[in-house]
A and B are shown apart, each in its own frame.
Chain A
Amino acid sequence: MPLDIKNISASFHLRGSVVHAVRDISLSISQGETVGIVGESGSGKTVLSLSLLRLLPSPPAVVKGKALFDSFDLVNCPDRVIRSIRGNRISMIFQDPLSSFNPYLRLSDQLTEPLLCHQSISRKEALQIATDMLSQTGIKEPHKKIHCFPHQFSGGMLQRAMIAMALVTKPGILIADEPTTALDVTTQAQILSLMKTLQQKYSMSIIFITHNLGIVAGFCDKVHVMYAGMILESAETVSLFKNTSHPYTKALIRSVPSLHATVDKLYVIGGPPYDPSQPLKGCPFAPRCEFSVAECFEEKMELTEVAPNHFTCCSRIKKGEISL
């Protein structure tokens, strides 16, 4: 198992109040696997990914739990260990490519930086590797383009450059936080295709964070659905969509307008959105769930297997009281 996340919790201690962004999450990622983490804004998916690499600002943020990666615990290991892992063995790419690059430095400086930082090679060798990686991401004339500045690239090309920068050290795990949200549909398709190709080439694992169920359906092997900082449902992709086992997942799927059918009215998830500063009792989705009963507000949240490799924490589904 390249990455084994055990009981990770992340909370923010602000003036007078505590915000629980991630509550007791456990999951694991195998070699070469693509794991999708799906959730809307406020679900805690980005906070979870940042806490894996200890990128959350430490005075307000408190992270507990373990993240085991190759005999190291990412949450509790010494600073120099996590620094040697970041950008080297675990890389991360973000949503907005333009703000991920330093506008004052050429791409050559920025793409070679991870190599020069983590490996003892010469500048010339580093530039060679970086140029090679840039060409693999589909950018034409890489030996010319690598000396350009970020603002000279379009959004799609810059995202490719960001992928190149993340993969230049051939990491074992790539964390992608909504990498295609800011891109056009056709560019998005190309970037996803590119990521798949490179993943197969370097047998990399990918943690793909998104709110788009359509991407998850076509791109990920396993999916975890997050809400209010907890995982409500985990399954292999096909199983998640065919045998949805949590009312929230079902509601999300129904809220998305269909490309191929005309409907009269879109399904809307009722109730107030989740408030992270309030203490949690029972299922966080219960106030908005059409199937909730009194017990839902009291129960202990536990992911239980209801089908091969398919976990849910909805007690009513577990007991077989409802079916979706």
Chain B
Amino acid sequence: MNDSNLLEVKNLSVVFGEINRKKRGYKAVNNVSFTLKKGETLGLVGESGCGKTTLGRTIIRLQKENSGNVLLNGIDLCSLSPSQLRPLRRQMQMIFQNPYSSLNPRMTVLEIIAEPFTGRYSREEKTERVSRLMMHCGLDPEMMRKFPHEFSGGQRQRIAIARSIAADPMLIIADEPVSSLDVSVQAQILNVLKSLKDSLSLTMLFISHDLSVVRYISQRVAVMYRGNIVEIGKTEDLFNNPCHPYTKALLDAVPVIDPERKIYQFKSVQSTDSDFSENSGCPFFNRCSKRKDECRLEVPKLSPSADEEGHCCACIDNYEK
């Protein structure tokens, strides 16, 4: 069972701003655990500030964790020294949100995409490989000597995708790769990602705030709120039978193309003015319509939901079912 787990995250916590034990910092990622099987795509969904980007960056070791482990193919990345980590970094690559700042403006597309394998191949082989990668991502290889600023946002994102697969990684973490793109371009990039995923059997962690996009591309989905995973399960299960009140609120809030369903009738989530409270209980307490006194005691743990296999929810209400 465990052999097919490419990625295992165990009790990962990242705290910002903790100076000493007296001053409690801000928990960007709070005791998060999940696994990713080989070839699977896990969607990580949440609103801004929920810690999903921090979680992604911590897994890929761009951010230091405060406690917990990240196991890639059984190797604990958190216990490695920087020099031990360096050769392993190629096995996990990230696609960033902003196509304008994720490419070095002074390098040609050829240099950018070939960077993962510089020094290993001759010039002809390098050009050949880069051409193949560009075509794979829907780019014209004739453009390889152009510079990033000569491309549109969607094309730049394709270049970023080509760069990430050039390193031949096992795991790809896509951090909001389509959020800054137009609807029609978004569709193109998502299709590219999906076809690459299928043809290269990539394992992917897809981070986004857009539920519809996550639904399209992921097999499993995890919902994050203020540093905690509040619900996780198979895509169909989670979207059709959301368990956690926050998941339900999120799904209700998404504007869908259905003129009969007027968005301005939605009122079930309260104002977020007093969001940053210091209580030690459920992070969703202040906004939850179902809250009880017990919810304040401790952060609810993810427990299996009665109905579906693999569908877990971190809500006291769920325990009682």
Tell me the A residues contacting B by CB distance below 8 Å: 40-41, 138-140, 154-157, 184-190, 192-193, 195-197, 211-215, 217-219, 237-238, 241-242, 251-253, 255-260, 262-263, 265-269, 273
In whole angstroms, what is the CA distance A241 to B258 when docked? 8
Q: Using Cβ atoms and an 8 Å threshold, which residues of chain B touch A184?
A: 47-48, 209
Pairwise interchain contact B253-A185, C-beta atoms closer than 8 A: yes
Q: A156-B272, A266-B191, A266-B216 are in contact. Are A193 and B255 (CB under 8 A)?
A: no
Contact between B256 and A193 (Cβ–Cβ < 8 Å)? no
Stretch at the interface among B55-63, B111-119, B180-188: B180-188
The CA of A211 and the CA of B253, in the complex, are separated in Å by 17
> What are some 24 contacts across the A-B interface (CB < 8 A)?
A40-B183, A140-B273, A185-B254, A186-B47, A186-B272, A187-B272, A189-B252, A193-B264, A211-B182, A213-B183, A214-B254, A214-B255, A214-B263, A217-B257, A218-B261, A238-B259, A241-B257, A256-B187, A259-B215, A265-B194, A266-B216, A268-B187, A268-B188, A268-B191
* C-alpha gap A171/B275 in the complex (Å): 32
What string of 1s and 0s marks CB contacts (under 8 Å) between B198-217 and chain A?
00000000000101110110
Chain B minimum-CB-distance residue to A41 = B182
CB atoms of B212 and A258 under 8 A apart: yes
Q: Does B236 contact A (CB under 8 A)?
A: yes
CB-defined contacts of B262 to chain A, threshold 8 Å: 218-219
Chain B interfacial residues counted at CB < 8 A: 45
**Residues of A contacting B182 in the complex (Cβ-Cβ under 8 angstroms):** 40-41, 211
| Cβ-closest chain A residue relative to B188 | A268
Asked, given contacts A265-B194, A273-B152, whether A192 binds B263 with beta carbons under 8 Å apart, the answer is yes
Q: Say whether A218 contacts B272, CB under 8 Å.
A: no
Residues on the A chain within 8 Å of B236, using CB: 262
CA distance A214 to B212 in the complex (A): 11
- Contact, CB under 8 Å: B266 / A214: no
What distance in Å separates the Cβ of A299 from its nearest Cβ neighbour in chain B? 23
**In the assembled complex, B239 has its CB within 8 A of some CB on chain A:** yes
- B53 → A minimal CB distance (Å): 14
Q: Which residues of A contact B152 (CB under 8 A)?
A: 273
Main secondary structure on chain A at its contact with chain B?
helix
Contact A257 B273 (CB under 8 A): no
CA distance A187 to B275 in the complex (A): 12
Per the bound structure, the CA–CA distance linking A184 and B257 in Å amounts to 18
Alpha-carbon distance between A130 and B250 when the two chains are bound, in angstroms: 32
- Report yes or no: B184 in contact with A257, Cβ–Cβ below 8 A: no
Provide the bound-state CA to CA distance between A268 and B209, in Å: 21
Check A269 against B269 for contact (C-beta < 8 Å). no
CA distance A269 to B191 in the complex (A): 12
Residues of B within 8 A of A253 (CB): 257
- Measured CB to CB, the nearest residue on chain B to A263 is B216
Q: Which residue of B lies closest to A223 (CB)?
A: B259
Chain A residues near B48 (CB-CB < 8 A): 155, 184
Cross-chain contact B211 with A241 (CB below 8 angstroms): no
Say whether B235 faces chain A, with CB atoms less than 8 Å apart: yes
Least CB separation from B269: chain A residue: A186
Q: Mark B16-47, 1 if CB is under 8 A from A, else 0.
A: 00000000000000000000000000000001
B263/A193 in contact, CB under 8 A: yes
Rounded to whole angstroms, the CA-CA distance of A248 and B93 in the bound complex is: 36
Q: Which of B187, B249, B255 contacts A266 (CB 8 A)?
A: B187
Chain B nearest CB: distance from A112 CB in Å? 22
Q: Is the CB of B259 within 8 A of A241?
A: yes
CB distance from A248 to the nearest CB of B (A): 10
In the complex, the chain B residue whose C-beta lies closest to that of A267 is: B187
**A184-B209, A186-B47, A255-B183 given; A218·B216 CB < 8 A:** no
User: Nearest A residue to B273 by beta-carbon distance?
Assistant: A140
Most buried by A among B216, B236, B239: B216
Residue of B nearest to A141 (CB): B273
Cβ of B187: which chain A residues have Cβ within 8 Å of it? Answer: 255-257, 266-269
Cross-chain contact A217 with B256 (CB below 8 angstroms): yes
| With known contacts A138-B271, A212-B255, A260–B239 Cβ distance under 8 A | yes
Whether A186 lies near B253 (C-beta < 8 A) is yes
B209 near A214: Cβ-Cβ < 8 Å: no
Known contacts being A41-B182, A238-B259, is A140 close to B271, with CB within 8 Å?
A: yes
Check B183 against A211 for contact (C-beta < 8 Å).
yes
- Bound Cα distance from A272 to B298, whole angstroms: 55
B190 beta carbon closer than 8 Å to chain A:
yes
Chain A residues near B321: list those with CB within 8 A: none
Closest approach, in angstroms, between the C-beta of A213 and any C-beta of chain B? 5
Contact yes or no, A265 B253, CB < 8 A: no
Q: Are A259 and B212 in contact (CB under 8 A)?
A: yes
Q: Which residues of A contact B239 (CB under 8 A)?
A: 259-260
Contact of A256 among B183, B209, B249, B261 (CB under 8 A): B183
User: In the complex, A219→B258 CA distance in Å?
Assistant: 11
A269 touches B190 (CB 8 A): no
B106 adjacent to chain A (CB < 8 Å): no
- Sample of 17 more A-B contacts, CB < 8 Å, known A192-B263, A255-B184: A40-B184, A138-B271, A139-B273, A140-B273, A155-B48, A156-B272, A157-B273, A186-B269, A187-B47, A187-B272, A189-B255, A214-B263, A217-B256, A241-B259, A257-B212, A259-B239, A259-B256
Q: Which residue of A lies closest to B260 (CB)?
A: A238
Find out whether the CB atom of A255 lies under 8 angstroms from the CB atom of B186: yes
Question: A268 near B184 (CB under 8 angstroms)?
Answer: yes
The answer to whether A251 touches B184, judged by C-beta atoms less than 8 angstroms apart, is yes
Shortest distance between the CB of B252 and any CB in chain A (Å): 8
